[in-house]
Structure 1
């Protein structure tokens, strides 16, 4: 009888182990980011931070040790001032970090280093967790696509041409350890700011501002901008002079007070219209929902002509901004966005609405050029695939084990990205190929919500 019981227990243990193995395989398969054939391991560059970061508060800076070991074995050692980066991302378990490198522990002398081939030397970088995007690819690849839009635009501002990537961030995947504890898969990116955009801090005509919400003020339904955490934010300089404030007021009041006909006649006195046309096409193509209001950056280098640049592009290509849903998800979209997710009408942004209505032929012409030279399904998909292959399935799975609450790990992967690209290109072909006719079918009668 004892032998029989031992046999039962042995069978039970073996069956349990088999179930655990099968369960583990199914779990990995469910969360797999790359095709089964892409099974090789990838050794990523490794970032190590040492210092007290557990109770880091927004806007607080701390001094830490920074170490980067590149894939080819090169080591970079520095001290750094680090602070939390982002707005909505502050609530996520894994944080984004702004890092400024220094040569000594007293942080008196900034250390300019080149962290990647083809980049300019800099002391400022960002460690981005991409917590809502399980692929970690959207922000980098969408930024590269925006760079192509600007590079092929004959009328892009000169100062963007002189800087890296035409004013769009660049980055590469890394693993991150903080005080020897693995925190997951990150991307190390160039820093948003005046240097990226070619703005001169000594030139008062160089200004950068950002809209921080969807409301009547940031969507150009009021003629005077309000500067606070829910409305407009100054990026460069930190504090606007009276003359710089007047430049922003001039820009905002022109847009808010214009009819379609007066906008078409006078926009070239206030705006870089070709850059706005590119931006309108870009947010529709990538489904950059936040780029229409809550995260739209405007620059000028002469206090007269303003234009947008794309930034923070992890909620694109079908992924909702909290990472929990894919578009279409009407209930969530209508709850969180003022115009129900309608990017054709600029999500209620009066500036984008005026651009679409005043320059339909120019938009249509630009779309045909981009489709021939920049926008193809295969080209975009190849960029996503190469980035993810260079990241490696092993690093995706290790990241999921360290951060099991990543919201999009079961709804997005390379296959979902490719399907979204195909869908978005096809949908935008239907919109822009004959935009001079289709623009009249778009409902632009929209009233933005009251500023709270």
Structure 2
């Protein structure tokens, strides 16, 4: 029996079809966030919001119904809530963050304090965070948890932070959000920043919190008097500062803006908590928290004299650029907007971080060596990311992408990218901090970041 030759056109057709199938499969999974082995579905808690949210304006509050249905449980939280848009840079994104304050009745006369997660303290204020730029939805909370490890591991850090849940860092868990019965996407429900989170007293005028709202000469400590407006400094606690409290702010800012490195080294202990300032400088470099050097930096004092920074809003970290569209460090957009490639060793032009690095290199080097043994290891940080993403589940990632197709980072970030970024950034920081007493002399501290428009 003779073998019949297979026609060339048939071979070509079969090969083309095979390549097409493979291509479709690759395309289907190129936005996959977890490995194929993590294929099981996860049921998340559901937050149901009922009310008109379509035309919510900045600073406007509306009264809605709030429901939290726990997954695989009959437990529910029922409340009314005053809801407003939350965030600054994120206000322009199609997915919005919401701050909610819970009340027991529709007239919102009495706040309702509830514990929404095991281990948390009761509160009436929470945040629904969309994590729009971060397709993994875990950078903010995992980085906050890492910051709490930094704070908890040093006895010289402020006692007020040590007395609070998660050491003054936000906590949260993933939820799906439905608005008026319609699926809206994957969110994280988090604790709210503010006085209670940081262990500050409303009755104590020496407890003050301020925030920088942009990269400019005022917020980067190149001017000796604080300007309080939408582009410069913002008072957080209290929302309006007394004359005495403003003097406390300006005492701090004037010292930083006028000190030489030597003056800063000699006198900084009278104005700052140096140990947590050092941790903040290391943490900012490690996580590559670009916004944390200028536009999104919070400073606290518990005695009106000694100030310290804390980490907050950490979604633009671990290689992800602030708009979620590109990755550090090679993207042209990064090189264009940050001529130094977004290198944070010079504090992105923040004079306080520059002075800390230049004045305390030995202390920074010693602290890094401690952190590398106890806290900053690839295994520990990668486990935090893996556990957080497994708790969300691939099914919820894909449902979110279907409902919100414009999420910019869904094809450039996932668990694998985070794992590689953790390894790369720890290695880069080893090169910087292992011998920082020598390396500090190679840093160009004259660099100033492009100013926020």
When normalised by structure 2's length, the TM-score is 0.93
Rounded to whole Å, the distance in 1 between the matches of 2:420 and 2:20 is 32
TM alignment of 1:323-362, pairs within 5 A? 323-329=324-330, 331-337=332-338, 340-362=341-363
Equivalent in the alignment of 1:391: 392
Equivalent in the alignment of 1:12: none
Equivalent in the alignment of 1:182: 183
Equivalent in the alignment of 2:77: 76
Contact 2:432 2:439 in 1 (8 A): yes
Partner SS state of residue 176, structure 2: strand
Tell whether 2:260 aligns with 1:259: yes
Equivalent in the alignment of 2:166: 165
Rounded to whole Å, the distance in 2 between the matches of 1:18 and 1:119 is 53
Rounded to whole Å, the distance in 1 between the matches of 2:167 and 2:392 is 24
Rounded to whole Å, the distance in 1 between the matches of 2:19 and 2:94 is 31
Shift of the alpha carbon at 1:71? 2.0
Shift of the alpha carbon at 1:332? 2.2
Equivalent in the alignment of 2:3: none
CA pair 216-373 structure 1, distance change in 2 beyond 3 A: same
Contact 2:256 2:351 in 1 (8 A): yes
Equivalent in the alignment of 1:8: none
Partner SS state of residue 190, structure 2: strand
Tell whether 2:250 aligns with 1:246: no
Partner SS state of residue 145, structure 1: helix
Shift of the alpha carbon at 1:43? 0.3
Contact 1:217 1:451 in 2 (8 A): no
TM alignment of 1:21-420, pairs within 5 A? 25-73=25-73, 74-329=75-330, 331-337=332-338, 340-420=341-421
Rounded to whole Å, the distance in 1 between the matches of 2:385 and 2:109 is 40
Contact 2:348 2:448 in 1 (8 A): no
Rounded to whole Å, the distance in 1 between the matches of 2:446 and 2:218 is 17
**Unmatched 5+ stretches in structure 2:** 1-16
Shift of the alpha carbon at 1:154? 1.3
Rounded to whole Å, the distance in 2 between the matches of 1:226 and 1:150 is 29
Shift of the alpha carbon at 1:339? 5.7
Contact 2:43 2:72 in 1 (8 A): no
Equivalent in the alignment of 1:7: none
Shift of the alpha carbon at 1:70? 1.1
**Structure 1 residues 302-311 or 441-450, which shifts more?**
441-450
Partner SS state of residue 429, structure 1: helix
Q: Deviations over 1:135-177 (max 9, x none)?
A: 0010000000000000001111111111110010001000000
Equivalent in the alignment of 1:10: none
Q: Deviations over 1:363-414 (max 9, x none)?
A: 0000011001101001000010001011000000000010111000000000
**Structure 1 residues 153-162 or 125-134, which shifts more?**
153-162
Q: Deviations over 1:219-266 (max 9, x none)?
A: 001111111111111101011000000000000000000000000000
Contact 1:221 1:448 in 2 (8 A): no
Q: Deviations over 1:297-334 (max 9, x none)?
A: 00000000000000000000000000000001454235
Matched positions, count:
436
Contact 1:339 1:348 in 2 (8 A): no
